[in-house]
Amino acid sequence: MAEPIVDAVHLNKSYGDLKAVSDMTFQIERGEFFGLLGPNGAGKTTTIGMLAGLIEPTSGRLMIDRCDPARDTNKVKAKLGLVPQDFAFYPTLSARENLEFFGRLYGLWAERLEVRIREVLNTVQLSDRAKEPVSHFSNGMKRRLNIAIGLVHEPAILILDEPTVGVDAQSRNAIFDTLELLNQAGVTIIYTTHYMEEARRLCHRVAIIDCGRLIALDTPVELTRSIADSLIFIEFANGLDETFINRLSDLGKARITNPEQGKVQLETGAREQALKGLVELAEESGVHIRSVNVLEPSLEAVFLHLTRKHVRDTAKNGE
């Protein structure tokens, strides 16, 4: 196996008593498209901050392309391209001027800078709008420029934090195409998102983080396979007694999420059989079913299974 481009071993980051990242160990292969998935406050941003050399780990070992970010900070920073979630550029400058400035910070000047600006503008399809002030751009164009700035110095690793927030489907697809092309060209991509379909489409492997801990790491296919066939959410019209819950558990792994309101989450490997059994059981016990919602096997289901949180709901709260 080739040496990983990112090697994180027992990484910890604390702010006083708060443990933002706890004992996190993972490796990212060179050329990999690596996803980081997690709700608000899960520790994604802190993890990215440590990878980008912006936050120093409290303990643990982190190597980026065989360099220690704590010792060779600037050498590591030169290998990384950061695309923050917010639009991090100057709105009164043009796209070209923004690229010129950030390129110069990475030591690009004169002809080399010109060539790179042309290339990245071409990559993100902004060549024809290069001289316009960025404040005139649409959200999608701004997202593409945000990515272009992270690419201007040809980083070996591109770190993207929720790069498709607030863009339309067309722009999102354009961004996906760009990222896939970059990845095919050999750029290692670390991608945080709360959109499951993005992780499924783009990422070779996905790390699921919650409460500062890495709780799962595998390919999207293996992760979905790792949980049961289906998750069934049932809402009963009345409260549930213990006998009923015990009999419900025979149909699968029952988790009572809200017993007062009669809400139950049923995890099963045999969906059809479980649904049939549920109806029969309800009739026998005289319990009325208000609603049944079946969640297909997916990363969303995996996330829900592992964290007991809806990733979209948590994302809406801020991250």
Partner 1 sequence: MKGFLAQIAAMALKELTILRRDRQALALLFAMPLFFIVVMSYALEGVFEAGSRGRPIQVLVVNEDDGTLAAEAIGDLRQIEGLFLVETIGGGRITSERAEQLVRDQVYPMALIFRRDFSGRLQAKATTGSAAEAPCVVLMVDPAMNRQLIAPVKGLIQGDMERRQVIAAIPQRIKEAFARLSEKAGEMGPHVGDVEKEFVASLDLKELGGTNNASKLLALSAPKGFGAERRPTTTEQNVPGYAIFGVFFIVLTLASSFIREKEEGTFLRILAAPLPKTALLIGKLLPYYVVNLIQIALMFSVGILLFDMKPGNVAALTIVSLAVSAAANGLGLLVAALGKTEAQVNGLAVFFAITLAALGGMMVPTFVMPGFMKTLSRLTPHAWALSGYHDVIIRGLGVRAVLPETAVLLGFACLFFAIALWRFSFR
Instruction: Give the binding site for partner 1 (CB under 8 A).
Output: 52-54, 73-75, 77-78, 80, 82, 84, 86-90, 92-93, 97, 101-102, 104-107, 109, 149
* Burial of 185 from C-beta contacts in 10 A (0-12 / 13-18 / 19+): exposed
Q: Which is nearer to partner 1, 98 or 193 (CB)?
A: 98
Cα(6)–Cα(22) distance, rounded to whole angstroms? 17
Closest CB 105 distance from partner 1, rounded Å: 4
Provide, rounded to whole angstroms, the least separation between the CB of residue 215 and partner 1. Answer: 27
Residue placing its CB nearer to partner 1 in the complex, 35 or 103: 103
Which residue, 15 or 59, is less far from partner 1 as judged by CB?
A: 15
HSE-up (13 A, CA, CB side) for residue 5:
21
Nearer to partner 1, 129 or 142 (CB): 142
Shortest gap between Cβ of 151 and partner 1 (angstroms)? 13
The end-to-end CA distance of the chain, in Å, is 35
CB of 106 to partner 1, least distance (A): 6
**At 72, which helix (H) or strand (E)?**
none
For partner 1, the closer CB: 107 or 166: 107
Ranges of beta strands (E only) in the chain are: 6-15, 18-28, 33-37, 59-64, 80-83, 157-161, 188-193, 205-210, 213-218, 230-236, 253-258, 263-268, 289-295
Shortest Å distance, C-beta 242 to partner 1: 52
